[in-house]
Amino acid sequence: MKSYNDAILPPATIGILGGGQLGQMMAFSAKQMGYKVGILDPTENSPAGQVSDFQIISDYDDENAVKQFAKKVDILTYEFENVDQDLIKKIKNDVFIPQKINELEITSNRIKEKFFLRDNQIPVVNFQAINNIDDLVNGVAKIGYQSILKSTEGGYDGHAQYDINNEKDLIEIKKKFDSGEWILEEKKKFQKEVSMMVVRNTDGKIHTFPLSENIHKNHILHKSIVPARVDNKVIKDATDIAKKIAERLDLIGILGIEFFLLDNGSLVVNELAPRPHNSGHYTIEACNISQFEAHIRSICNIDIPDIVLNNKSLMVNLLGEDLVNARNELPNKPNWHFHDYGKDKIKPARKMGHITLLGNNIENLLNDVNKLNH
């Protein structure tokens, strides 16, 4: 069994739990470096499986399949945080797992994540743990009607999230409220949403990527502009917070940190993602090293170069039929870096691909894609 001080060198086999687009782009980077890649995912011909050496088709909680997978690979990582943590603990003696289990435990549960941040003096919005209707009513009384109710586990891109803007919203949510673990968060007025990718090696060296300015639509990331159009103090504050989180988490691998930039110029952390992040896709073309290669280097204990932004960039998500529209535009867009994830079905609000544009003028880049999705 490898230790945390050993480098995992090609042609070792990297196993990825999850076969979506993040796993696909992780696999691209690993294959380019000479690694073999295996995928475990329940979807036959998954996006990541299409570009890897093999795929085990199985549910993530199938203990026999996961154990079989662990024996076929040299090192294990994941493309999403909601993996079966108990199962990960069971296979830790069968395969090298560089990422720490506490990282998963904290970031896969919004309550634990908020307490971790608050306990480490990292700014977050006011929040309340919610387990029943009484908690919900009391929580709204404390936080106010400008709040949002979220499931503590799972849920993404606006799923399992409910805005509470007035008494009518509260009455409607009470009618369909399921007891369980939820979190109520205060809504803060903010100027922008921004995010930063941070990566840390096993030797404790931390690298941060440029700050991204993110534009959402219906709770789904729509566009990312890099560098974010903010002043240098905001960039410094985000970098300091990112490094502090990486240290306190004992991070191995890449981590995405979402922030709200408040009207007074301060930052609060919205969410952590212990994996590559949608807002970091620009790094593939715009930086000297992508978030995906940085992750592979980190978990394999290979040095990471200092991060350099070579070009300003705009990343645009392609949701549902946006992909078809982009394909039709592609013949006349030589400046587009076009990514099609190869998903089997086009569905509304489903991330099907993305486009990255590079250039000196962000407004020109925005104009170049304004016909795609509004």
CATH of the domain at 294: 3.30.470.20
| In a shared domain, residues 194 and 173 | no
Residue 93 counted as domain residue? yes
Q: In the chain, how many domains are there?
A: 3
Helix, strand, or coil (residue 38): strand
- Give the domain-ending residue among 137, 168, 186: 186
Helix intervals (H) in 160-313? 167-176, 232-249, 283-286, 291-299
Residue 172's domain is classified under what CATH number? 3.30.1490.20
CB 225 within 8 A of CB 213: yes
Inside any domain, residue 3 = no
Q: What is the largest CA-CA distance in the chain?
A: 59
* The pairing of beta strand 54-57 with beta strand 220-226: unpaired
Q: What's phi and psi for 56, nearest 5 deg?
A: -95, 120
Q: Which residues pair with 309 in a beta bridge?
A: 287
Residue 116 falls within a domain, yes or no?
no
The pLDDT of residue 327: 95
Same domain, 332 and 207: yes
* Cross-strand pairs, 314: 225, 357
Q: What is the CATH number of the domain that holds 48?
A: 3.40.50.20
Buried b (16+ CB within 10 A) or exposed e, 203-234: eeebbbbbbbbbeeeeebbbbbbbbbebeeeb
Q: Tell me, what's the pLDDT at 315?
A: 98
pLDDT tens, position by position, for the chain (374 residues)?
555 678 999 999 999 999 999 999 999 999 999 999 999 999 999 999 999 999 999 999 999 999 999 999 999 999 998 788 999 999 999 999 999 999 999 999 999 999 999 999 999 999 999 999 999 999 999 999 999 999 998 755 556 789 999 999 999 999 888 878 999 999 999 999 999 999 999 889 999 999 999 999 988 999 999 999 999 999 999 999 999 999 999 999 999 999 999 999 999 999 999 999 999 999 999 999 999 999 999 999 999 999 999 999 999 999 999 999 999 999 999 999 999 999 999 999 999 999 999 999 999 999 999 877 54
Output the pTM of the full model. 0.94
Task: Report yes or no on 108 lying in a domain.
Answer: no
Residue 1 lies in a domain: no
Sequential DSSP letters for 89-107:
HHTTTTSB--S-HHHHHHH
* Spatial distance between the Cα atoms of 192 and 214, rounded to a whole number of angstroms: 7
Looking at residue 39, what is its pLDDT? 98
Does any domain span residue 46?
Answer: yes
In a domain, residue 102? The reply is no
- Residue 261: how many CB atoms within 10 A of its CB? 22
Q: Can you give the residue range of the structural domain that contains 328?
A: 190-368
Last residue of a domain, one of 144, 160, 186: 186
Say yes or no: 203 and 178 in one domain. Answer: no
Same domain, 32 and 135: no
